[in-house]
Amino acid sequence: MNPVLVEAWRGDAIESEHTGSIAVLDAGGAVLLALGDIDRPVFPRSAVKALQALPLVESGAAERLALSDEELALACASHNGEPLHVRTALSMLAKAGADVDMLECGAHWPYHEPSVRAMAARGETPTPLNNNCSGKHAGFVCLACALMGWNDGGVDLRRYVKGYVKPDHPVMREVSEALHASTGFDLSRAPRGTDGCSIPTYGIPLRQLALAFARFGTGVGLREGHARAARRLREAVAKAPFMVGGSDRMDSAVMQRLGERVFCKVGAEGMYCAALPQRGLGVAIKISDGNNARAAEVVMAAAIESLVTLSAEEAEFMDGFSAVRLKNWNGIEVGALRASAPLRRALAARSSS
């Protein structure tokens, strides 16, 4: 069984705890840190959206459609569905000559509660543009334009993209190939599931996911087209980090603060991956029970704090994510989230400082 990585304290006792595993590798495949089982395949979910966006750039679609930093960042996002995210997804579709009803991700209310209430106050209901994956899907539609050879006319595109979420559609074959190429893991023998937005998700070990993100952050070990695409996506996200998450989201806040030193991306069910280009490292985390907000985030924040060279102010900023004070409805401090002793010891031994 995996070790405890995060403790949730209340008063003078540990109330709950989260087990999990973490792998930190360099682009050559050397393991800098491993806690828990890093060789069992896990579904990476949305933590690999940046890898799934590699074909969007490599294919030339991003350049030909003149996708902006904001739009490329949104293609890597699990966004809050805030108005700016919605407008940006719509702009991507417009550049591709596509309509909202071509998106096959489904609709859900925004993750961002104030946006939900604002929509309700305006009498609105959610569309696929509010779906946290709408940027990724808009990117798939843009990729389709390239794969179909830039045929003119909306009718052809509509026919071509239909069913793009299916594993055997040319779009999804290209996306899965990028995942295979970057992780080096044979997806044909991987466990397979369907993701929240209906595309396939493949079980991949943390070892291969951390390797892929070390490659994503350095270009080392990627083919030329993917290396260039990775650099372009990292630059875009560093310039428009709000697009990747949104208000009150750790991904956006951390990348806003730390710039190109960190590319990090959360995924459902306790997944978190990051590239730390400065140190040439990739990080992959899975919380066994699937908890994101308070477990995967604490582990990733603790990892960034140890592995990235930070100023005192930046370290204090990261403390807000790695040692969280829990308050109740009256604002009274009632507990805390903390990285466990085994995790802190393992990270301290690999510290950048």
Closest CA to 134 of 158, 168, 106, 169: 106
Question: Which of 37, 97, 99, 192: binder of a copy of itself (CB under 8 A)?
Answer: 192
How long, in residues, is the chain?
A: 353
Contact between 117 and a copy of itself (CB under 8 A)?
Answer: yes
Contact 339, 298 (CB under 8 A): yes
Question: Which of 228, 334, 344, 350: binder of a copy of itself (CB under 8 A)?
Answer: 334
* Among 35-43, 67-75, 215-223, 313-321, the segment contacting a copy of itself (CB under 8 A): 35-43
Question: Which of 121, 149, 152, 168: binder of a copy of itself (CB under 8 A)?
Answer: 121
* Among 60-68, 205-213, 328-336, 338-346, the segment contacting a copy of itself (CB under 8 A): 328-336
Contact between 188 and a copy of itself (CB under 8 A)?
Answer: no
Contact 288, 20 (CB under 8 A): yes
Question: Which of 34, 100, 118, 148: binder of a copy of itself (CB under 8 A)?
Answer: 118
Q: What is the DSSP string of 319-331?
A: HHHHEEEEE-TTS
Contact 348, 306 (CB under 8 A): yes
Closer CB to a copy of itself, 42 or 227, in the complex: 42
Distances (CA, A) of 314 to 237, 257, 285, 297, 310: 19, 8, 22, 16, 6
Closest CA to 176 of 54, 32, 324: 54
Contact between 290 and a copy of itself (CB under 8 A)?
Answer: yes
Identity (one letter) of the amino acid at 284? A
Give how many residues touch a copy of itself by CB under 8 A: 54
Question: Which of 97, 106, 167, 170: binder of a copy of itself (CB under 8 A)?
Answer: 106
* Among 54-62, 71-79, 109-117, 317-325, the segment contacting a copy of itself (CB under 8 A): 109-117
